Amino acid sequence: MKNVIGGALSKLDKQSVVTAYRRQAPIYDIVFGVLLHPGRIGTVKLINQTAQGRVLEVGVGTGLSLPRYRKDLRIVGIDISDDMLRLARQRTREKRLGNVEALLNMDAEQLQFDDNSFDTVAAMYVASVVPHPDRLMREMQRVCKPGGDIFIVNHFAEDGGLRGTIERRMAALSHKLGWRPDFKLAPFMAHGTLEILARYREPPLGLFTILHCRNEKPAAVAAEQEAAAD
Ligand SMILES: C[S@@+](CC[C@H](N)C(=O)[O-])C[C@H]1O[C@@H](n2cnc3c(N)ncnc32)[C@H](O)[C@@H]1O
């Protein structure tokens, strides 16, 4: 089965995501560059206003956001698609982005970083693409320091109205689209213990939302991680 721009996506599993983004990589910036740019610009602007130290960008894609980060921040990007990462690395070289520490092939659902490795974590247009959003949430919280910031940009489906109806109908096409149009905010947030500090609706048509969250780790988890670090 093909998705709308040619990727094989019979279901949202790891291999089908890799295959889809192999096909999408060469045209990704043209198709999704401008369309998804407001959420990216808005997120990096917020990060630049607040962040210190190390930032992890999960599902960094072709690295469209990378040139916008403050130069004193150290950025690590991960993605599951080598084809997308190749373009991110090329951008980093061409623009001489010395603040990009590493661009690594890694599964966001199973991050190869120690607990509390990052001050800030961002996931832009990734939550409704990964096969298991619960694992993404758990991993983002684990690698982010307690009290650190987590930024999530995504389309979140609505319950009612015309938009809700369209989203519910489109959900049947998830396997073709390569993302879930009926991806809802509340069940996703219920997978973790994030506190939403602010939310911003972004163009086009307010379809995308930036969530600025605080990484509130449950006391038991924080204590366990501290003990392991000693
Ligand atoms: C819609 S693109 C967004 C890319 C980028 N964040 C942007 O703003 O353009 C989704 C990205 O998530 C990556 N991705 C999907 N599942 C992933 C996973 N399990 N682990 C890491 N990256 C993943 C895809 O390879 C793709 O590059």
Q: Can you give 34-59 as a three-state secondary structure string?
A: CCCHHHHHHHHHHHHHHCCCEEEEEC
84 CA to middle of ligand 1, Å?
8
- Output the CA–CA distances (angstroms, integers) from residue 47 to 54, 70, 98, 145, 178, in the order listed: 11, 9, 18, 15, 28
Structure pTM?
A: 0.90
The mean per-residue pLDDT over the stretch 19-40 comes to: 93
Q: Is residue 143 within 8 Å of 114, Cβ to Cβ?
A: yes
Q: For ligand 1, what atom is nearest to the CA of residue 61?
A: 27
How large is the average pLDDT for residues 191-198?
Answer: 96
- Residue whose CA lies nearest to ligand 1 atom number 16: 130
Q: Are 210 and 46 in contact (CB under 8 A)?
A: yes
pLDDT at residue number 20: 86
Q: What is the pLDDT of residue 59?
A: 98
Q: How confident is the model at residue 9 (pLDDT cuts 50, 70, 90)?
A: very low
CATH topology assigned to domain 14-229: Rossmann fold (3.40.50)
**How many angstroms is it from 24 CA to the middle of ligand 1?**
11
- Look at the chain and count its residues: 230
* % of the chain with per-residue pLDDT over 70: 81
Q: For residues 210 and 46, what is the distance between their CA atoms, to the nearest angstrom?
A: 10
What's the mean pLDDT when you consider all of the chain?
88
Q: Would you give the distance in Å from CA 149 to the centre of its chain?
A: 13
| Angstrom distance (rounded) from CA 55 to CA 75 | 5
> What's the 226 CA to ligand 1 centre distance in angstroms?
30
CB-defined site of ligand 1, < 6 Å:
17, 21, 32, 36, 40, 59-61, 64, 78-81, 84, 107-109, 124-126, 129-130
